Amino acid sequence: MAESAAGREFYPELRRELAAQLPSYLAGQRWFGGKARTISAAELLDVVPVPLVSTIAGSDPRQALLLIVSITYTEGPGDSYAIPVLRAADVTVDRGGSAHLKISGAGGSFEVVDALKEEAFLSALLQLIDAQATLHGEKGELRASQTSAYASARGAGAASLPAKPVGAEQSNTSIIYGDRLILKFVRRVEEGVNPDLEIGAFLTEKAHFTGTPQVAGSLRYITRDGKESAQGILQTFVANQGDAWSYTLKSLSRFYAAAGSAAAEGKGATDAEKAEFVASEAGEFLKAAALLGQRTAEMHLALASDAALSDRAFAPEPFTVEFQSELEQSMRRLSVGVFAQLREKISGLPLEQQETAKRVSTQESEVGNRIQKALSTPIRATRTRIHGDYHLGQVLYTGSDFVIIDFEGEPARPLAERRVKRSPLQDVAGMLRSFHYAAFAPLLTPGDAKSTASKTTVEKLGSWAEAWNVSVAERFLGSYSQAAGQAAYLPASMAETQVLLELHLLEKAVYELGYELNNRPTWVGIPLQGISRILSI
């Protein structure tokens, strides 16, 4: 943005005009997480000028502005977002109908657009980390830093890496630099230590774990009074064939084609025959599941590797009476809320799910008993940092191996809660539930994500889906257990381990039931079946 428009005398006009325009602007952005809420106010908290690449070289007066804005809603807590902008006249690519903000002032009127779609700004972000620069705003600063992995990740002599945004923009915006680096630009500003950056840096610099992208650098926004939030995470780019969810569904597509033919020929009459069929037709995927189990255990061993207790944030801790009590209360609150929703919404569910829903709806007290029984006796294991939101979508498939990504945890939880040490079996349960979802998802969405399968289709292939799920889960768990060995984070006996794993499986299935009731009722059968299987009803 030209200096005349970017000077501090321009900020009052920017602050005044943004307040009125931001609600409608944000509603049109895919990365904005408050679309379901009503904005009551918007305030510009800070402006940080960001010189573009050519500006740093001294030949171009353009610069972007990083806007830190605060959003207040009519109900609930507010949010803060980072919005980098450029004057529309300064961009090099025609944006067409892209959303924009219009600013009027003494120097005239002009429009500003998202700077994260402009290559010069994307390149500037990497150059900030190159220089480990600090940029000053009115109330804080944007500070760039490198890890010990930066030099090798960046590459010797790679003065310029072409920058391009990743096409699928979600809650954050990712930028790829050549085939070496990827930067996650954090849109929602959350005060505190970001788990993705914190865990990634630990695994890179202390645990030396190679099963996740290496963290090479970061961008942090720090206020004058020392409050910090992650603004960007720079990692090594991993060439891949997509996530493990997509890879799994491709494998299942082939499996179901073969299973349909086998069923038509009267094969697979018993569970043993189906298991043998899975071993034959899905053998390659079973090997992949075993490899993923191994990589998962290696991740957990790395996260538990601070045996010297040198880093308080990662030092393993024992389960305590207080922690188990808090965990029990949290699980009970979840259960009470979800079962209340279930009873209220049974009549609106697909007819083929209503009988199961009614049966499960009577089990609230049994779920409470399971939770109480599992947590009423001391758990003889340690708690560690975990992934926190572990499923097939959080793993990249390279064609021969798996790479684990996104240690952010569940975005709906506060940052502090996501950093709490827990049992790694919570991650294991998350992946097992993800396998269950993958097994039945193709039966619910045959060729069209908006359609639902007939009851006949589910009945025809449902038993084959369950056979696949059982075989995959067994292979994953067997490999995980072998790689984990006698890790201190596992309970002292196999029986205790099974109890804790089933507790987290039940918690996850109940959580999924609540999600499907609110967002995707046609899929409610998957968590209902999961709960039914755990409770043996």
Q: pTM for this structure?
A: 0.91
**Is the confidence at residue 3, as pLDDT, over 50?**
no
Q: Which of 302, 167, 295, 151 is nearest to 234 (CA)?
A: 151
**Is the confidence at residue 525, as pLDDT, over 80?**
yes
Amino acid at 185: F
Phi, psi of 266, deg, nearest 5:
80, 15
> What is the three-class DSSP state of 363?
coil
Question: Could you report the per-residue pLDDT of 44-62, keeping only the tens digit for each?
Answer: 999 999 998 654 445 456 7
Distance of alpha carbon 43 from alpha carbon 476, whole angstroms: 49
**Is the confidence at residue 449, as pLDDT, over 70?**
no
- Report, as an integer, the average pLDDT of 445-469: 66
pLDDT score for 249:
97
Question: Could you report the per-residue pLDDT of 253-310, keeping only the tens digit for each?
Answer: 999 999 999 998 989 889 999 999 999 999 999 999 999 999 999 999 999 999 888 8
Structure tokens at 527: 């968590």
Percentage of the chain beyond pLDDT 90 is: 73
In sequence order, which residues have a C-beta less than 8 Å from that of residue 54 and are 6 or more positions away?
A: 60, 62, 120
Mean pLDDT, the chain, rounded, equals 90
Distance of alpha carbon 393 from alpha carbon 93, whole angstroms: 32
Phi, psi of 135, deg, nearest 5:
-110, 135
Cβ-count burial 372-407 (b if 16+ within 10 Å, e if not): eebbeeebebbbbbbbbbbbbbbbbbeeeebbbbbb
The residue count for the chain: 537
Block residue for tokens 């899975």: 278
Least confident window among 50-64, 104-118, 519-533 = 50-64
Question: Could you report the per-residue pLDDT of 305-334, keeping only the tens digit for each?
Answer: 998 888 999 999 999 999 999 999 999 999
Distance of alpha carbon 244 from alpha carbon 241, whole angstroms: 9
Cβ-count burial 168-200 (b if 16+ within 10 Å, e if not): ebeebbbbbbbeebbbbbbbbbeeebbbbbbbb
pLDDT score for 87:
78
Q: Which of 92 and 189 is assigned the larger pLDDT? A: 189
**Is the confidence at residue 457, as pLDDT, over 70?**
no
454 pLDDT band, cuts 50/70/90, is very low
Q: Which of 435, 454, 436, 429 is nearest to 444 (CA)?
A: 454
- Report, as an integer, the average pLDDT of 116-129: 92
**Is the confidence at residue 447, as pLDDT, over 50?**
no
Distance of alpha carbon 87 from alpha carbon 399, whole angstroms: 42
pLDDT score for 451:
38
Domains and their CATH numbers in the chain: 3-236 (no CATH), 244-535 (3.90.1200.10)
Q: Which of 450 and 62 is assigned the larger pLDDT? A: 62
**Is the confidence at residue 5, as pLDDT, over 50?**
no
pLDDT score for 453:
44
- Report, as an integer, the average pLDDT of 211-236: 97
The helix (H) or strand (E) run that includes residue 417 is helix 415-418
pLDDT score for 103:
72
The helix (H) or strand (E) run that includes residue 85 is strand 79-87
Tell me how many degrees the CA angle 132-230-330 measures, rounded to the nearest 5. Answer: 155
Q: Are 431 and 402 in contact (CB under 8 A)?
A: no
The helix (H) or strand (E) run that includes residue 277 is helix 271-281
pLDDT score for 450:
37
Torsion of CA 190, 196, 201, 202, to 10 degrees: 110
C-alpha radius of gyration, the chain, whole number:
25
Q: Which of 51, 76, 77 is nearest to 63 (CA)?
A: 51
Phi, psi of 331, deg, nearest 5:
-65, -35
First to last CA, the chain: 64
- Report, as an integer, the average pLDDT of 412-422: 92
- Taking each helix axis as running N to C, give the angle between helix 321-345 and helix 351-361, from 0 to 180 degrees, rounded to the nearest 10: 140
Structure tokens at 16: 């005044």
DSSP string of 138-184?
A: SSEEEEEEE-TTHHHHH-TT-----EEE-SS--SSEEEEETTTEEEE
Structure tokens at 402: 């798996």
**Is the confidence at residue 384, as pLDDT, over 80?**
yes
